[in-house]
């Protein structure tokens, strides 16, 4: 079993919809949680960062962490065609700077 | 442009050969990380350097080695290449604590034929 599980999709939604992306994990030591966006043939780009449990909002993006369920989510409101990309969750434990990534969810926003 | 520079962007080489991938971190970043991204495995951590010293090692093959130079640029050496080594290799950098996320370069696409 992988430490981090992520539904690979693909996920297609119409423009303007709310998108929900999720990851589950098994390592209870993880405290730092991130979402990266990766466009085709580009490197991953840090989108959101959250420490421990709770919510964080940045514009149209909201990240949620539920440590009791070992479940993290990324919500995208008012989705745009430019949001079409692969979204990767990543996490790490204190004292260990290695990031463990999910396999990514490919998202397409249909105009 | 993320500020992390990787060269070359593409590399095609034969099995058994050796290649060197180069990475220049963002100005001021002391940590460099190398990751391999393949279709079936996703992003896998290879190795981390901090200010010239190896700090952490992942599932890096013995055929692979890396170093970070005094000017903080890093090189990843891959030898005795096999078909299965074909992948995207990413370098990333951070100021110090990578727990807050790091900045990735655009990667080197390696094809072994």
Q: What is the mean pLDDT of residues A75-89?
A: 97
* A97: nearest CB among B90, B99, B107: B99
Please list, in sequence order, all residues whose beta carbon lies within 8 angstroms of the beta carbon of residue B68, skipping any fewer than 6 positions away: B32, B49, B51, B52, B53, B74
Q: What is the mean pLDDT of residues B23-46?
A: 93
Average the pLDDT over each of A1-10, A31-40, B64-73 and give the range with the smallest value.
A1-10
Q: How far apart are the first and last CA of chain B?
A: 30
**Under DSSP, is residue B84 helix (H, G, I), strand (E, B) or coil?**
helix
- Is B31 in contact with A90 (Cβ distance < 8 A)? no
Q: What is the mean pLDDT of residues B52-65?
A: 94
Average the pLDDT over each of A89-98, B20-29, B77-86 and give the range with the smallest value.
A89-98
- Is B48 in contact with A34 (Cβ distance < 8 A)? no
Please list, in sequence order, all residues whose beta carbon lies within 8 angstroms of the beta carbon of residue B79, skipping any fewer than 6 positions away: B18, B63, B64, B65
Q: What percent of chain A has pLDDT over 70?
A: 100
Q: Within an 8 Å CB–CB cutoff, is residue A29 touching chain B?
A: no
- Is B33 in contact with A97 (Cβ distance < 8 A)? yes
User: Which residues are B104's β-sheet partners?
Assistant: B92
**Under DSSP, is residue B98 helix (H, G, I), strand (E, B) or coil?**
helix
H helix intervals, chain A: none
Chain A residues touching residue B33 (CB < 8 angstroms): 97-99
pLDDT given for residue A9 in this prediction = 84
Tokens of A104: 């990514």
């Amino acid at each position: 079993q992988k430490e981090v599980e992520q539904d690979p999709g693909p996920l297609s939604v119409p423009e303007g919809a709310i998108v929900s992306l999720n990851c589950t994990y098994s390592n209870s030591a993880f405290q730092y949680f991130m979402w990266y966006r990766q466009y085709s043939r580009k490197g991953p780009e840090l989108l959101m960062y959250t420490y421990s449990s709770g919510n964080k909002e940045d514009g149209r993006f909201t990240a949620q962490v539920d440590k009791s369920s070992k479940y993290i989510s990324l919500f995208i409101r008012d989705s745009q065609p430019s949001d079409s990309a692969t979204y990767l969750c990543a996490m790490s434990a204190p004292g260990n700077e290695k990031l463990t990534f999910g396999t990514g969810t490919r998202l397409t926003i249909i105009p | 442009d993320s500020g992390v520079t990787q060269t070359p962007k593409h590399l095609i080489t034969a099995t058994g050969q050796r290649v060197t991938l180069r990475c220049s971190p963002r100005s001021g970043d002391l940590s460099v990380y190398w990751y391999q991204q393949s279709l079936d495995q996703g992003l896998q951590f290879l190795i981390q350097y901090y200010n010239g010293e190896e700090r952490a090692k992942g599932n890096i093959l013995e055929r692979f080695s890396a170093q970070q130079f005094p000017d903080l640029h890093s090189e990843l050496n891959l030898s005795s290449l096999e078909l299965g080594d074909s992948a995207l290799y990413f370098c990333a950098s951070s100021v110090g604590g990578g727990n807050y996320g790091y900045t990735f370069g655009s990667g080197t696409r390696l094809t072994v034929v």
